[in-house]
Chains A and B, each alone.
Chain A
Amino acid sequence: MGGARRPPLFQFGRWLGVVPFFVFSGLFLIGPVVVLAYRSLEGPDGGLTLDNYRELTNPTVLASYGLSIRISLTTAVLGGLIGFFLAWAVSMGGLPRPFRSGLTTFSGVASNFAGVPLAAAFIFTLGRIGAITALFELIGIDIYGAGFTLYSYWGLTIVYLFFQIPLMVLVLLPALDGLKQDWREAAENLGATPRQYWRRVALPILLPSILGTMILLFGNAFGAHATAYALTGGLLNLATLLIGQQISGDVLNNPGLGYAVAMGMVFIMALSIILYSILQRRSERWLG
């Protein structure tokens, strides 16, 4: 941006306000990840290699990625659908106005209510001694006897939905507001039924936004560690929990593989954020 003709002091002043930001990000975000990326490419006796990435096909690693991806997909799709219907209900479903602002504030709280307290709340609800578990027992159903446990794929899915649904609501409410009344009226004047209006007009316009937010939810669940750790104590074979165990003591017996597993997560997260922003930009064409 500069030129040699400018005095250096002036140049410095021009950049002064952003220098701390770049230095700090370099030290605590970019630098560490670059080091991790470098280590993931390092062989046991030095030298650059892709061996660590080839090792990702190791059954433990594949299983952990598989479970993480399955849980993230399930909670993204379920959370996305439920969140969409909920956002629709309070914005255009004809419910009294206060529900909308109430839901917005609640979603802000619930989408940030992750980690230990969330895990604890569900232990008291659906854990072995939980209130709902006890309620089922009262009517003669032993859900744990029937094979359910909170510390499993479905258990974790139920817990994750507590922050996934609100996130969907928060991102989708503005998109629903962007649907113009004119479009509906135009469709109706042309003789469209409400169903036709939704299928041919509203949903196609909303689709990039809905899909994009679901991808955001996917990343949100994929990178989650605290809730799963607090709930299962690290017993479930999730990718984030595997990295946690790798930090505590090389469970993979291969430090390089640990770095590759971590970088693989960064790669998947980056992919989902990129897809999200592409779809979001696309949805702004109509809803911007």
Chain B
Amino acid sequence: MTISAPPIPVIETEAEQAPAKRSRFWAWVILIITALYFLVPLGATFYWSLRAEADKLGFEAYRRLFADSNFWPSFTESVINAIAAIFLSLLIIVPTAYWVTLRLPKLRPVVEFITLLPFVIPAVVLVFALLRLYGRPPLLLTATYDSSRVLLVCAYTALSFPYMFRSVDNGLRAMDVRSLTEAAQSLGAGWPTILRRVIFPNLRVALLSGALLTFAIVIGELTIALFLAQQTFGPYMANLTRSKVYEPSAMAIVAFALTWAAMGTIALITRPGKRG
């Protein structure tokens, strides 16, 4: 802290080196311990999934899992539910995010508050509430399997709101909505055309990441499906865990791979430089 300006950098580097080394040591220690915590359960599960046949390692558990008569029906049903929820969510959230960005900015806090509600209402409470409202006339929706399924898709749509809204909102902020809209209007486009041909295409990355996140959350969802008595993938997996020995390990690995695929794709398409 004297007047000697030039020596300061030298002193700094010397003083910095020892702590930097020490902090790197601790960084490695932390990384290795946490990596063990995360990788051991995955490794143990994978190991189990290879042991279905006595005395040798192989993919027998996976073969049995895929051959299980309930696997594909429940899985397909969940995929269809997820896709339906994603489309419904897009249909609702894209115009909403667009409107609060451009036409009704005063509504933004209200909309943001509502999209956060799924974080405030635990899934088990939401399904409890849905059953009380839609479990009896005049709004009876739980009478048949298919009407309950509609209710399930609507619940999933609501669950996707926080992710979808944030994703779309970020996407809208990254592009100049106002200029694009005015340009389209001056060319004579109406609102449906603007949304469909200008906004949607510019939001592709945001929409895709919102959709994939929703997919990852909804595909194995257990709580709501369970209490709406739906034979989807979540309840199927829960049943399998209780009734079989080796198949659940294969199932857990498949589910992890699915989540990984969805999140990996998001990481890939939202890389810096390709934000939107």
Contact = CB atoms under 8 A, between A and B. Distances in A.
A191 B241 contact: no
Interface string B133-157: 1100000000000000000001101
Contacts of A88: 27, 30
**Interface of A, helix, strand, loop or mixed by DSSP:** helix
B117 interface: yes
Nearest to A119: B241
A269 B123 contact: no
A45 to B, nearest CB: 18
A122 B135 CA distance: 36
A115 B220 contact: yes
B176 interface: no
A85 B42 CA distance: 22
B129 A262 contact: yes
B91 A20 contact: yes
Nearest to B47: A131
B115 to A, nearest CB: 8
B41 A122 contact: yes
A240 B122 contact: yes
A29 B267 contact: no
Interface string A259-288: 100100110011001000000000000000
Contacts of A126: 41
Contact of A32 (B129, B220, B267): B129
Interface residues of A, number: 87
A182 to B, nearest CB: 14
A112 B216 contact: yes
Contacts of B118: 29
Contact of B248 (A15, A20, A36, A123): A123
Interface string B16-44: 00011001101110110010011011111
**Interface of B, helix, strand, loop or mixed by DSSP:** helix
Given A17-B99, A116-B222, A120-B248, 16 more contacts: A15-B104, A18-B104, A20-B95, A29-B114, A33-B117, A85-B30, A89-B26, A94-B23, A95-B27, A99-B31, A112-B216, A112-B217, A113-B256, A116-B252, A120-B241, A269-B121
Interface string A34-58: 0110010000000000000000000
B178 to A, nearest CB: 15
A277 B129 CA distance: 26
A109 B124 contact: no
A20 B31 contact: no
Nearest to A126: B41
Interface of A: 1, 14-18, 20-22, 24-25, 27-33, 35-36, 39, 82, 85-86, 88-90, 92-95, 99, 101, 104-106, 108-110, 112-113, 115-126, 130-132, 161-162, 165, 188-191, 194, 219, 222-226, 229-230, 233, 240, 243-244, 246-248, 258-259, 262, 265-266, 269-270, 273
Interface stretch (B76-84, B180-188, B257-265): B257-265
Contacts of A104: 267
Contacts of B15: 188
A247 B131 contact: yes
B124 A240 contact: yes
B70 to A, nearest CB: 14
Given A18-B104, A121-B41, A132-B40, A90 B31 contact: yes
B194 to A, nearest CB: 11
B263 A93 contact: no
A246 B251 CA distance: 29
A18 B132 contact: no
Contacts of B226: 229
Nearest to B96: A21
Interface residues of B, number: 89
A24 B125 contact: no
Q: Which of A85, A99, A162 has the most CB of B within 10 A?
A: A85
A229 B44 CA distance: 21
Nearest to A110: B38
Given A86-B30, A125-B45, A240-B122, A94 B222 contact: no
B154 A27 contact: yes
B259 A109 contact: yes
B234 interface: yes
Contact of A89 (B30, B123, B129, B213): B30
Contacts of B28: 89, 93, 95
B36 to A, nearest CB: 11
A247 B123 CA distance: 13
B274 interface: no
B207 interface: no
Contacts of A36: 125, 128-129, 132
A93 to B, nearest CB: 3
Given A105-B267, A124-B44, A116 B234 contact: yes
Contact of A117 (B24, B38, B111, B256): B256
B266 interface: yes
Contacts of A223: 122-125
B121 A21 contact: no
Contacts of B103: 14, 17
Interface string B94-108: 011011100110110
